[in-house]
Chains A and B, each alone.
Chain A
Amino acid sequence: MLALDPSFLAVQALSGLSSASSLFITACGLTIVFGVTRIVNFAHGSLYMIGAYTAATLVPRLLELSFGPVTFWAGILASALIVGIIGVIIEILLLRRIYGAPELFQLLATFGVVLVVQDLVVQVFGPEDILGPRAPGLRAPVEILGRRFPSYELVLIAAGPIVLGLVWLLLRKTRFGVLVRAATQDRDMVASLGVNQAMLFTGTLFLGAFLAGLGGALQIPRVSANTGMDLSIIAEAFVVTVVGGMGSVPGAFLAALIIGQLQAFGILIFPKSTLVVVFLLMAVVLAIRPYGLFGRAEIVGGSHAVGIASHKPLPGRTYILLAVMAALACFPLLADAYLLKVATEILIFALFAFSLQLLIGVGGLVSFGHAAFFGLGAYGSALAVKWLDMSMEAALPLGLTLAALGAALIGAFVVRLSGIYLAMMTLAAAQILYAVAFQWVDVTGGDNGIVGVWPSSWAGGPVPYYLLTAALTLVAVLLLKRIIDAPFGYALRAARDSEARAEAIGLKVRQHRWLAFMISGAAAGLAGGLYAFSRGSVDPSLLGISTSVDALTMLLLGGIQTVAGPLVGAAVLHFLRDLIMPLTPLWRLLLGLSIIAMVLIFPRGLVGTVQYWREERA
């Protein structure tokens, strides 16, 4: 049998080691930056991508001037240095302003950088993938137990421990390292001892970005630089840092080793999706050690709780509700088919964002993978139509149920966690589902998705489907609103504001949060199912990071502290996108900049700002 052949096993183990090395070098930078700044830098993957592009462009030119190994490695280091400087620029322009902000805003702002970089990379390096040169002197493969193994991979295997050693020396034996480790624990105290934190943080960002750039640059002989590498590496780097314990360099090394081997051998068990194995590892580790292998409990400050507070019921809200219902019902009389389609999608996304509001605004649970439930609802409905030949009436509830079950499963793991670990775990879960949808081609259609998901004939056509969506969305939002105002909602808010106190008065915090996940997942699943039937198709992007971020952006745009916020945010974002996207190829850049601007100058959101003005005046 192939799998038992010792030479095959050896080569698999070696390639596992070399991917572990690459992964560690990148993840190490992420974990160091987190340790000191407490910011999970989403843009770390973008820095990795810039490193790859820079090296793939720079190294061949240098090799034309002077061909040889020295030039090659100097080019790799130069690329990493350039990325380090870019990291410094990002720190000075953005990160420095959000060190005290809630995690959600930090994640969103750095994701804004991801979007900006995606467009800038295409502008600077062009839309084509760039294949880098092979390393001079390392072109011939070596023989290992009779099998050929690329010699460059052996160099990579050595690079990981070398970086670990150098980082260890830097952190243990230099004043910078001592201060970095001190700041990891207590930033205010370090400042009280006269250390300029700004310099320390800038230096840390340089180191982190340098390592990301190095990780990317080292890839050029193996894979071509491409525009998708930022999000794929960041998901893996998140898993490594979370499993290793955020902030722990040895933890990241150990986690990368384990994950490298799991990926190398997991391919024998789950040939379609090695990420499933990785996810299982992460779930098991976090179930046993909620802060990772070498991590420590995070101190979650009260300032990190953002969410809705209690408000007096609006006077005459019955009339408002009736007016909204009338307006929704009369809209088809005024609008054409295109507007109706836009309105349908806005309603769907409003429900999606509102379902997230229950988790974030009410529960304080920063889910960064809400697309998982939206996508489960969409895929559940589409699969039911395709494989079970179901009608829309049966497929929609099935999608909703699948999403609720998915939320129950994911929620069971994540309700033990808090803050950044919860965000990372939900993100990873969504990425796994994305990978499954992408790779399990026989069932899900892979990249092409599933087509022919049309509503039943009575609901076909823009007007009936709009009315169906409006009715279901309205019912779901009213139910969610009722839940938020019920004692259950109060319990969630109590747990959000002070977990310890909520537990001390007898609230079963985890059970409440778990239930919240299922309710929220079901609502998002309904939105996903409605979306599938509105477009007639599903594809993996529904499960992607950008879908999760869309929901967060709507929430942020409307205002996290308000109930109406997500609804307004969905409408505004959708309109802006329809308006701007056709006009410019740089819409991701614009969207990214808008997200960053929102976090920096408009953190209350639209509805929240209006409310704030009214309260200040009162």
Chain B
Amino acid sequence: MRRDVLLDVRNLNAFYGRAQVLFGLSFHLCSGEVVALVGRNGAGKTTTLKAIMGLISASATHATFKGHSLGRLPTYRIARLGLGYVPEDRRIFTDLTVEENLETGRRPAGADRSPWTPERLFRLFPNLAEMRGRRGNQMSGGEQQMLSIARTLMGNPDAILLDEPSEGIAPVIVQMMAEAIRAMKAEGVAVLLSEQNWAFAAGISDRACVIERGEIRFQGSMAELMADEALRAETLGV
């Protein structure tokens, strides 16, 4: 099956102060697929996602999204192109209720698809439906994670950058996350997933990029990476 390239990242470099942390990363994400960025803690996964979103001032890339160059765009313009971002620490607005959090993410959908509504999202994440009026600071980590994803989906993105969705949440919720990502994929939303949880990433991703010390060590299908035990042991320790 042939797919359009949605997000095309070419030669991504990023710096913290004078220290370079990403070295010429190139990869792409096609519509409707799930790609996992895997690698050890500190390899540069989160930095990659932030740099794509324009949240790191000292980065340079020739990334395009749906053909638009992301190079110098401010973050909100990147988001408006249809690229959603769910940060690692979830960053729920703790003073706002669940419904208000969803409202902050609302953006109109393209003409060709049915928009995400709070009701649809509550079906995807039934836990949230029971706590519409609850404030973000009274939710568990897993509930916050669901809300963070739902909030980004309210913007009707074509692709989502999803940072460590399984981190620090209960195993049963991790299972729900996997289901939710499959459901998003079924709706046609592409996902670029940054993950340390190998089993989780392997279970839901079509392709994988292995990052080590700011460089890409491997790119290919999940099946290839599954087969290459030596590489996995060296770069991921699994």
CA gap between A394 and B207 in the complex, in Å: 83
Are the C-beta atoms of B105 and A181 separated by less than 8 Å? Answer: no
A186: interface (CB < 8 Å): yes
Considering only CB atoms, which chain B residue lies closest to A192 in the complex? Answer: B85
Considering only CB atoms, which chain B residue lies closest to A174 in the complex? Answer: B103
**Distance between B118 CB and nearest chain A CB, rounded to angstroms:** 13
B79: interface (CB < 8 Å): yes
Chain B 55-76: CB-based contact to A (< 8 A → 1; otherwise 0): 1000000000000000000111
Total CB contacts across the A-B interface at under 8 A = 57
Considering only CB atoms, which chain B residue lies closest to A191 in the complex? Answer: B75
Are the C-beta atoms of B94 and A193 separated by less than 8 Å? Answer: no
**Distance between B144 CB and nearest chain A CB, rounded to angstroms:** 12
**Distance between B51 CB and nearest chain A CB, rounded to angstroms:** 13
CA gap between A579 and B96 in the complex, in Å: 55
Are the C-beta atoms of B95 and A175 separated by less than 8 Å? Answer: no
Considering only CB atoms, which chain A residue lies closest to B155 in the complex? Answer: A194
**Distance between A612 CB and nearest chain B CB, rounded to angstroms:** 15
**Interface footprint category on A:** 10 to 19
Are the C-beta atoms of A178 and B100 separated by less than 8 Å? Answer: yes
CA gap between A141 and B74 in the complex, in Å: 57
Are the C-beta atoms of A190 and B55 separated by less than 8 Å? Answer: no
A185: interface (CB < 8 Å): yes
Q: Contacts of A191 on B, CB cut-off 8 Å?
A: 74-76, 79
Are the C-beta atoms of B96 and A182 separated by less than 8 Å? Answer: yes
B127: interface (CB < 8 Å): no
B45: interface (CB < 8 Å): no
**Distance between B212 CB and nearest chain A CB, rounded to angstroms:** 27
Q: Contacts of A195 on B, CB cut-off 8 Å?
A: 76, 104
Among B53, B55, B93, B107, contact of A181 (Cβ-Cβ < 8 Å): B93
Are the C-beta atoms of B53 and A193 separated by less than 8 Å? Answer: no
**Distance between B139 CB and nearest chain A CB, rounded to angstroms:** 15
Are the C-beta atoms of B100 and A189 separated by less than 8 Å? Answer: no
Q: Contacts of B74 on A, CB cut-off 8 Å?
A: 191
Q: Contacts of A547 on B, CB cut-off 8 Å?
A: none
CA gap between A79 and B146 in the complex, in Å: 47
CA gap between A186 and B105 in the complex, in Å: 13
B80: interface (CB < 8 Å): yes
User: In the complex, which residues 171-200 of chain A have their Cβ closer than 8 Å to any Cβ of chain B?
Assistant: 175, 178-179, 181-182, 184-186, 188-197
Considering only CB atoms, which chain A residue lies closest to B107 in the complex? Answer: A194
Considering only CB atoms, which chain B residue lies closest to A187 in the complex? Answer: B75
CA gap between A191 and B85 in the complex, in Å: 10
**Distance between A506 CB and nearest chain B CB, rounded to angstroms:** 28
A-side residues, CB < 8 A to B, are 175, 178-179, 181-182, 184-186, 188-197
Q: Shortest 3 CB-CB distances between A and B: which pairs? A: A194-B79, A191-B75, A189-B91
